[in-house]
Amino acid sequence: MKRNNIRLTLVMLALALVAATLAFAATIPAAGAKAPAFSLPSQEGKQVALKDFAGKWVVLYFYPKDFTAGCTIEAHNFQEDQPKYTALNAAIVGVSADSVDSHKEFCTKENLTFKTLADPTGAMIDQYGSLTKLEGAMKERFKQDHIAARNTFLIDPTGTIRKVYANVQPNPHSKEVLADLALMTK
């Protein structure tokens, strides 16, 4: 069991390195830019748009794949901190290239209550410079040809990107975003 955990960790590290390399090849919107508009289906099958959060802060985080170790850790941390985000007038929104059905299963299994949006075509993920194309063994492993790089955008209540986090580490990330949000809302 321990050997499998080490192997999974090494695979995820390799994926993160590939994602980092490819994600930086795309244009990531910079802090100060207007956040690209989007409308995607959530785990509930309902369309969710950026404009739905007008007047609120949005933590828009991209993650590679439902049910993987790093993505599950990151989601749990955001879920654990959700009351603190709510107190700061912020919504958490996760996005991956997984299907609505996958998100529904993931949210149910992991007790996630924030929105997770499905972008199987990768069009919206690409708008945020976070699309990673997969080839070879990685394409086989994930059973798709693209995933989202682990990037996060902190969007203010007017729809402006205030902070960009590229290539984040899943474990400390929610606390980092929460600390920055607390400073920005003072």
Residue 141 sits in which domain range?
2-184
- For 165, counting Cβ atoms within 10 Å of its Cβ (0-12 exposed, 13-18 middle, 19+ buried), the class is middle
Query: 13 is written with which tokens?
Result: 């590290």
**Predicted local distance difference test score (pLDDT) of residue 80:** 98
List the catalytic residue out of 16, 23, 71, 92: 71
pLDDT tens-digit profile of 17-69?
Answer: 455 444 444 599 999 999 999 999 999 999 999 999 999 999 999 999 999 99
Looking up tokens 């069009």, which residue turns up? Answer: 123
Over residues 109-123, the pLDDT tens digits come to 999 999 999 999 999
Quick: pLDDT tens for 83-139.
Answer: 999 999 999 999 999 999 999 999 999 999 999 999 999 999 999 999 998 888 887
pLDDT per residue as tens digits for the range 140-178? 877 888 999 999 999 999 999 999 999 999 999 999 999
Dig out the tokens for 57 from the structure.
């802060």
By the 10 Å C-beta count (0-12 exposed, 13-18 middle, 19+ buried), 2 is classed as exposed
Active site residue 71: yes
C-alpha distances out from residue 151 to 30, 60, 63, Å? 12, 9, 7
Confidence band, pLDDT 50/70/90 cuts, at residue 12: low
pLDDT at site 156 = 98
Q: Which of 63, 118, 57 is nearest to 86 (CA)?
A: 57
For residue 79, pLDDT over 50 is answered with yes
Q: The CATH number of the domain where 143 resides is what?
A: 3.40.30.10
Question: Pick from 151, 142, 129, 166: which is nearest to 15 by CA?
Answer: 142
Q: Structure pTM? A: 0.85
Domain count, the chain: 1
